[in-house]
């Protein structure tokens, strides 16, 4: 059920229930991060493997510091530059963080979301809240309250916060005394990070340095139910009647299409809603015109499109 009542949402979270909440990236499936049972409910609702750790959302740097055993200078610099915002920092966890939040691992992922309703909610609750994307595991992340409403059994409260303005998930970086290592690309790119801290080379495909598998980095993810492919990878005869094209250039005559924005930020903000709309059109195939633009946002978009179009 969708609500505008932040106080009611906070009360549900304090009681130990799961509540979906808006952020600037995607909607999160919230629960009190310090309440093991509430966190278990999030794993159960999503059908998420228990070894896939959750992101913890805080409203202040002080709240973040209570969740970690060390706060390297690089973390302080990154937080100062990019929080609130779509950057998640992975640091050694403190005993305050229940083990199920981190999938049994020794590190915790933390961010301050740049959304006034999320910040007010966390302040009202008076503590950190976990927030994986509010979709069933493996599906397309939600960028509007309506995408979440009715998606879970049992039904949960969805705090309305409008359409997400960033539209794809945060950049996840591991922070050590050596610098930052990107574990999941997002709109804040390596070149942005490198302006303020050293960036440690990462292996974007297997992420072998990670203490735990990160399904956000696995190939097949963020996928619609309808088979989805890059248009330049299918034979000519598959184009046409049964397919719906996410187009950047003007679509060929007769091709059913959804016209996508040509600017990177606008494309990212529109992507998941467009995939959901295409999925609802009962097409045989979703085709995606491969974006060719440069820069961190296009790179992050291509990362999500690669996963949405991955076989298996």
Residues that bind ligand TXA (CB under 6 A): 23, 25-26, 28, 52-55, 86, 88, 90, 102, 105, 107-109, 113, 131-133, 169-170, 172, 183-184, 210, 214-217
Nearer of residues 75 and 172 to Mg ion, judged by Cβ: 172
Q: How far apart are CA 163 and CA 159, in angstroms?
A: 12
Q: Which helix (H) or strand (E) holds 265?
A: helix 264-279
Q: Which residues bind to Mg ion, rule: CB under 5 A?
A: 133
Do 83 and 71 contact (CB within 8 A), yes or no?
no
- Beta strand residue intervals within the chain, DSSP E: 2-3, 19-21, 28-32, 55-57, 87-92, 107-111, 129-130, 157-159, 171-176, 179-184, 199-200, 228-230, 243-247, 257-259, 285-288
Q: Residue 113 CB, nearest distance to Mg ion (Å)?
A: 14
Residue nearest to ligand TXA (CB): 216
Please give the span between the terminal C-alpha atoms of the chain, in angstroms, as a whole number: 33
Q: Residue 216 CB, nearest distance to Mg ion (Å)?
A: 6
Q: How far apart are CA 15 and CA 13, in angstroms?
A: 5
Q: Residue 226 CB, nearest distance to ligand TXA (Å)?
A: 21
* From ligand TXA, Mg ion, none, interface partner of 88 (C-beta below 5 to 8 A by class): ligand TXA
Count of C-beta atoms within a 10 Å radius of residue 241:
10
Do 243 and 284 contact (CB within 8 A), yes or no?
yes
* From ligand TXA, Mg ion, none, interface partner of 54 (C-beta below 5 to 8 A by class): ligand TXA
Nearer of residues 160 and 169 to Mg ion, judged by Cβ: 169
Q: Residue 108 CB, nearest distance to ligand TXA (Å)?
A: 6
* From ligand TXA, Mg ion, none, interface partner of 300 (C-beta below 5 to 8 A by class): none
Q: Residue 259 CB, nearest distance to ligand TXA (Å)?
A: 26
Nearer of residues 125 and 217 to ligand TXA, judged by Cβ: 217
Q: Residue 78 CB, nearest distance to ligand TXA (Å)?
A: 15
Nearer of residues 145 and 217 to ligand TXA, judged by Cβ: 217
Q: Residue 255 CB, nearest distance to ligand TXA (Å)?
A: 32
Do 224 and 277 contact (CB within 8 A), yes or no?
no
Do 34 and 27 contact (CB within 8 A), yes or no?
no
HSE toward the beta carbon, residue 51, CA cutoff 13 A:
6
* From Mg ion, ligand TXA, none, interface partner of 59 (C-beta below 5 to 8 A by class): none
Instruction: Report the DSSP pairing between strands 55-57 and 107-111.
Output: parallel
Nearer of residues 23 and 202 to ligand TXA, judged by Cβ: 23
Nearer of residues 28 and 291 to Mg ion, judged by Cβ: 28
């Amino acid at each position: 059920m969708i609500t505008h009542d932040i106080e009611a949402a906070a009360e549900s979270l304090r009681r130990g229930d799961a509540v979906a909440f808006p952020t600037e990236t995607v909607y999160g499936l919230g629960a009190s991060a310090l309440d093991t049972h509430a966190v278990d409910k999030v794993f159960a609702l999503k059908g998420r493997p228990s070894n896939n750790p959750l992101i913890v959302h805080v409203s202040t740097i002080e709240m973040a510091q209570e969740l970690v055993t060390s706060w390297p200078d690089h973390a302080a610099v990154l937080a100062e530059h990019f929080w609130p915002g779509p950057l998640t920092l992975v640091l050694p966890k403190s005993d305050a963080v229940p083990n199920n939040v981190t999938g049994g691992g020794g590190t915790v992922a933390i961010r301050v979301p740049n959304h006034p309703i999320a910040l007010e909610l966390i302040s009202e609750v008076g503590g950190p809240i976990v927030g994986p994307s509010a979709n069933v595991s493996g599906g397309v992340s939600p960028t509007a309250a309506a995408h979440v409403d009715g998606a879970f059994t049992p039904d949960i409260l969805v705090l309305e916060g409008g359409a997400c303005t960033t539209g794809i998930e945060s950049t996840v970086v591991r922070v050590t005394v050596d610098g930052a290592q990107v574990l999941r690309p997002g709109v804040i790119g390596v070149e942005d990070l490198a302006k303020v801290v050293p960036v440690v080379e990462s292996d974007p495909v297997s992420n072998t340095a990670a203490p735990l598998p990160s399904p956000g980095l696995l190939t097949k993810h963020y996928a619609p139910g309808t088979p989805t492919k890059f248009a330049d990878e299918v034979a000519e005869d598959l184009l046409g009647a049964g397919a719906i094209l996410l187009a950047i250039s003007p679509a060929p005559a007769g091709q059913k299409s959804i016209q996508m924005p040509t600017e990177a930020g606008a494309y990212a903000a529109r992507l998941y809603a467009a995939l959901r709309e295409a999925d609802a059109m009962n097409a045989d195939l979703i085709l995606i015109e491969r974006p060719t633009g440069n820069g961190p946002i296009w790179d992050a978009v291509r990362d999500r499109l690669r996963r949405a179009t991955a076989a298996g």
